[in-house]
Each structure stands twice: as C-alpha cells, then as structure tokens.
C-alpha cells in the first residue's frame, strides 16, 4: 500500500481552497433561498428533512402521505413539503393538557 504524503504548505493551501468553496456554496444557497422568497416561493423540505422535523421515520412519513394526514407536493418522483404546512399540521393535532 502506497502512502501519499503532502507537504505542510500544500496541505494548508488545499484546506484554504476547500474553505473558500464551502463559503461559496453557502452564499449561493442563501442567494437561491432569497430569490425564492422574493418571488413569493418558500423553500421546500425533502422527505429526510420533513421526517427529521416531525421526529418520525421515513416509512411513517410515507404512511402519513398515504393516509392524507400531511400535505405534500409531488415533483417528478420526489415529494416535497412546505414548512408552514407541517407546522400547521402539528399545531392542529396538538392536544392541550387539561388542568
């Protein structure tokens, strides 16, 4: 097995370049989201994001879609969810504790 070594200066330069790339991607993502918002559109959540937000598995999320318990938009073969719709659904299904 061959071990590749990199000089400290070259490694530092590579690390700096990677940091610049990460910053560029973050700025591009922010600009994209601002562009959507400026057009009255909201960013949409993926299945993974929606499942994490709700604290359920992707299979449970799929069951919720099948039972029409959650609003979603189908784009091609992918489902997307609006944050506001998920928040509204959670609020509507929240049971207040009786005192």
Q: How many domains does the chain have?
A: 2
Model pTM?
0.56
Dihedral-angle region of residue 68 (phi above 0 means left; psi in -120 to 50 means alpha; beta otherwise): left
Same domain, 79 and 35: no
62 plus 82 within the same structural domain: yes
Residue 54 lies inside a defined structural domain of this protein: yes
One domain, residues 64 and 93: yes
**Which pLDDT does position 9 carry in this prediction?**
84
Angle at Cα 45 formed by Cα 44 and Cα 46, nearest 5°?
Answer: 125
Mark whether 98 and 77 lie in a shared domain. Answer: yes
Q: How confident is the model at residue 6 (pLDDT cuts 50, 70, 90)?
A: low
* pLDDT for the residue 99: 62
Does the residue 57 lie in any domain? Answer: yes
Report how far residue 25's alpha carbon sits from residue 17's, in angstroms, rounded to the nearest whole number. 12
**Mean pLDDT within 91-97:** 82
Q: Helix, strand, or coil here: 74? A: strand
């Amino acid at each position: 097995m061959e071990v590749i070594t990199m000089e400290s200066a070259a490694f530092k330069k590579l690390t700096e370049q990677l940091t610049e790339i990460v910053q560029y991607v973050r700025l591009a993502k922010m600009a994209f989201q601002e562009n959507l918002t400026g057009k009255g559109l909201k960013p949409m959540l993926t299945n993974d994001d929606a499942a994490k937000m709700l604290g359920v598995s992707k299979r449970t999320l799929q069951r919720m879609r099948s039972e029409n318990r959650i609003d979603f938009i189908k784009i091609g073969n992918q489902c997307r969810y609006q944050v506001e719709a998920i928040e509204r659904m959670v609020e509507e299904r929240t049971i207040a504790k009786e005192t």
